[in-house]
């Protein structure tokens, strides 16, 4: 079975809350931060309802989950205090991950800020050596994440990750997390030649090192280097490519994690599309939501056909407009799903449905009938 899940919250009752939230999305895996990703404040991991959470996981067949390291860790920094914080905090996060029984912690490799890429790669490798030497009593792997190339971040190519790994003494403890949005934004052709991308990864790093996949669509054109995630189908990767990736024979044994944005026209009311995205990627949407849901998607198909709206052309053209026409973006910065939602509301197509429910049906419309 393909293992697809999403990032879920570890707040409140810790692992119990995380597992119960994952169940509501129909997940078969999930990813957590063991505390807020922006700071170092942490509750004792022993108090995070681990036994209760694992009981929920066992009940719903969720065997492998993933931990993500906090964003504030930067092993590439030339500043001693920032670097030392990164080393010490990552070691603590690895110990917490080990306590949970999780085998991979995903890490953004780091940024070189005022130096250069060569310095950043060497500094990150130095930090990883120090980190791993201090946690030899654990069996947790550090999954270096592929990055989009924003700013001075390292990991924007497979070669950069390989360079880091070559400089780490115990690099058997290093794996890779491949983010589909990031590699698309970094310039890899995940839409038309994902097999070629995997072949390149295998030549440079080795597919045996691939441990986690982040399944994210992108708001950017290939090679933009910007790292902006989109709901599945509402971005420039598109549903067909995402479905191909999710079902790929070389990936289906790995945990596939959605980090797609929560959405709403009203700030503060954002909701995730995870439940619909997971069901569609697994080909289980009708089983998950019922025949009425499918009828609604067919009504959307008929409505948008009358409006001469093609799902892929509309998405691509809208992002093209927002990219190239500054005046249009300033006057009307609505993204593809916002524009489509407004059309549906104006036509009073589903007056009894909430914004969240309409958005889920539009995610299914992006997928097309072949997803059911």
Q: Which residues are annotated as a binding site for Zn(2+)?
A: 68, 108, 145, 179, 182, 214, 227, 229, 259
Taking the CB of residue 57, how many other CB atoms lie within 10 A of it?
23
Q: Which residues contact 213 (CB under 8 A, 6 or more apart)?
A: 177, 178, 179, 180, 245, 251, 254, 255, 256, 257
Write the CA distances from 253 to 29, 99, 213, integer angstroms: 11, 23, 10
**Nearest CA to 33 among 139, 126, 135, 105?**
105
Secondary structure (3-state) at 112:
coil
CA distance 18 to 7: 9
**Nearest CA to 30 among 260, 276, 258?**
258
CA distance 37 to 71: 5
- Cβ atoms of 217 and 233 closer than 8 Å: yes
**Nearest CA to 146 among 229, 237, 236, 227?**
227
Q: List binding-site positions.
A: 68, 108, 145, 179, 182, 214, 227, 229, 259
* Residue 235: DSSP 8-state: S
Residue tagged 């992108």 (tokens): 218
């Amino acid at each position: 079975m393909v293992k697809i899940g999403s990032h879920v919250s570890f707040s409140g009752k810790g692992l119990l809350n995380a597992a119960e939230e994952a169940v509501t999305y129909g997940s078969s895996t999930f990813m957590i931060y063991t505390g807020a990703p922006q700071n170092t404040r942490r509750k004792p991991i022993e108090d995070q309802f681990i036994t209760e959470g694992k009981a929920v996981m066992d009940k719903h067949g969720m065997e492998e989950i993933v931990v993500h390291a906090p964003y504030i860790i930067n092993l590439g920094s030339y500043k001693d205090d920032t670097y030392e914080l990164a080393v010490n905090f990552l070691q603590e996060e690895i110990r917490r991950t080990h306590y949970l029984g999780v085998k991979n912690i995903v890490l953004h490799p780091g940024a070189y800020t005022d130096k250069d890429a060569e310095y950043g790669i060497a500094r990150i490798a130095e930090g990883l050596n120090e980190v791993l030497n201090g946690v030899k009593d654990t069996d947790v792997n550090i999954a270096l994440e592929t990055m989009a190339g924003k700013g001075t971040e390292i990991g924007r190519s497979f070669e950069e990750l390989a360079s880091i790994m070559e400089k780490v003494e115990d690099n058997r403890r290093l794996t890779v997390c491949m983010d589909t949005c990031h590699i698309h934004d970094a310039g890899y052709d995940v839409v038309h030649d994902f097999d070629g991308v995997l072949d390149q990864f295998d030549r440079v790093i080795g597919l045996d090192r691939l441990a986690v996949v982040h399944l994210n669509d992108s708001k950017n054109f290939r090679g933009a280097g910007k790292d902006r995630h989109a709901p599945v189908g509402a971005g420039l990767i598109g549903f067909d490519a995402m479905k191909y990736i999710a079902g790929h024979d070389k990936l289906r044994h790995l945990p596939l994690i959605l980090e797609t944005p929560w959405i709403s026209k009203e700030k503060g009311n954002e909701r995730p599309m995870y439940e619909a995205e997971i069901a569609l990627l697994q080909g289980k949407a009708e089983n998950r939501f019922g025949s009425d849901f499918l009828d609604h998607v067919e009504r959307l198909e008929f409505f948008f056909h009358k409006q001469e709206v093609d799902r892929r052309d509309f998405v691509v053209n809208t992002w093209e407009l927002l990219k190239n026409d500054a005046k249009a973006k300033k006057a009307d910065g609505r993204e593809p799903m916002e524009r489509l939602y407004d059309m549906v509301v104006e036509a009073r197509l589903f007056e009894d449905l909430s914004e969240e429910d309409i958005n889920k049906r539009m995610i299914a419309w992006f997928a097309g009938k072949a997803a059911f």
